[in-house]
Amino acid sequence: NDTITAKITAHEKSTNHPDATTSAKGFVQLNSAINSKLETQAATPRAVKKVYDKAVKRAGDTMTGQLTLSNKGLKINNDNNDSMTLMTSGDSYSHAFYNAKTKRSESKLDYDSTKNIWQFNNVNDVTINDKSVLKAGDYGIGSEIGARLDDPEKRLLSGFYGIHTTDHESLPNLTPLNSPGTLAVYGSRNKYDGYIEQLYVAGFNSPRLFSRCKYWVSPTTAWYETVTEANIDRFLTTPVGVPLPWPESYAPTGYLNCNGSKFDKKKYPKLASAYPVGKLPNLQKWDASKDIQFIYIVKAE
């Protein structure tokens, strides 16, 4: 009987045992489930493998679901230790490139969602379908200043170049000296054809305009000044007081309208020698109803 009692007691001790918990010892049951919330059972190697296969991506695996970046962004390393980091900051999104040689990081592409604009920064050229895309400021376009001009006699790309007239010997010798201006270049069908350059010079309040033809290989060509209202006096040799037809409804600077009006003989003594009574002839021919579209003017001095 004592032997039987001892065997029963040993059996009870081996079957009537507490389950193990995180705070107490006991027996632990194995479990292969990967969605269990029990704390009294242990995961089997099979369960661990299932979780690993779901959570850990290997080379060649396809990533599914949404990727959320931290404020440090997503960094992509190159073999030469350079890197590209995709970063977000507020409402902006940026591609930042790190140069391992210079140890400098520069933003290359930014997007501002509040303004809905993309910006290429610190980039020499941007191409779409192998064609360069103009950025603000390229060749003086969209900029407050013209493109830099080192040698106006070279074949220039179409655009707008900021100049001072005394910087280059081939530009017109103007007064006042060192006048600022803009050199506009208009390209033709191909680079071997002739093309046009125009020089706009800001001299006091009277701008002057010059033009010339250029060719791919040719000596320096001459500039020709365009006749404007501001400089017409220098191109006309007509004596003071001789009536001239003029295709506008008003007389240019330095001229008077021959409409029968009186003029100041003391202010215009040369004109007074042609019209001693101090009155211009009435040669008015401006009549829109009869399609007569010119007036007569006289040089005042």
Question: 218 or 226: whose pLDDT is higher?
Answer: 226
Residues 42-99 have pLDDT tens digits of 888 888 888 777 776 677 777 777 777 777 888 889 989 999 999 888 888 899 999 9
What does the pLDDT read at residue 149? 84
Tell me the average pLDDT across 261-285: 89
What does the pLDDT read at residue 291? 64
Residues 136-188 have pLDDT tens digits of 777 888 788 888 888 887 888 889 998 887 777 777 666 556 678 889 999 88
Closest among 259, 286, 265, 268 to 277, alpha carbons compared? 265
pLDDT tops 80 at residue 198: yes
280 contacts: CB under 8 Å, gap ≥ 6:
256, 257, 258, 259, 260, 261, 262, 263, 298
CATH superfamily of 235-299: Phage tail collar domain (3.90.1340.10)
pLDDT tops 60 at residue 12: no
What does the pLDDT read at residue 137? 74
Residues 183-196 have pLDDT tens digits of 999 988 887 788 89
Cα–Cα dist 199/208, whole Å = 8
Whole-prediction pTM: 0.45
Q: Is 56 exposed, middle or buried (0-12, 13-18, 19+ CB in 10 A)?
A: exposed
The b-or-e profile of 192-211 (16+ CB within 10 A means b, else e) is eeebebebbbebeeeebbbe
111 alpha carbon, distance to own chain's centre:
14
What does the pLDDT read at residue 27? 77
Does residue 51 come out as left (phi exceeding 0), alpha (psi in the -120 to 50 range) or beta? alpha
Q: Length of the chain, please?
A: 301
Q: Which is it for strands 180-186 and 131-132: parallel, antiparallel or unpaired?
A: unpaired
What does the pLDDT read at residue 280? 93
Which one-letter DSSP state was computed for residue 276? T
What residue type is assigned to position 265 of the chain?
A: K
Tell me the average pLDDT across 256-260: 90
Q: Which is it for strands 29-31 and 208-214: parallel, antiparallel or unpaired?
A: unpaired
Question: 61 or 102: whose pLDDT is higher?
Answer: 102
What residue type is assigned to position 176 of the chain?
A: P
- pLDDT grade, residue 292 (50/70/90)? low
What does the pLDDT read at residue 152? 80
Q: What is the mean pLDDT of the chain?
A: 81
- pLDDT grade, residue 301 (50/70/90)? confident
Q: Is 105 exposed, middle or buried (0-12, 13-18, 19+ CB in 10 A)?
A: exposed
Q: Which is it for strands 29-31 and 41-43: parallel, antiparallel or unpaired?
A: parallel
- pLDDT grade, residue 279 (50/70/90)? very high
Closest among 229, 237, 275 to 254, alpha carbons compared? 229
Tell me the average pLDDT across 213-235: 77
Which one-letter DSSP state was computed for residue 232? G
Cα radius of gyration rounded to whole Å, the chain: 44
Say if residues 198 and 211 touch (Cβ distance below 8 Å): yes
- Cis omega (within 30 of 0) for bond into 176: yes
Say if residues 207 and 201 touch (Cβ distance below 8 Å): yes
- Main-chain phi, psi angles of 146, to 5 degrees: -75, 165
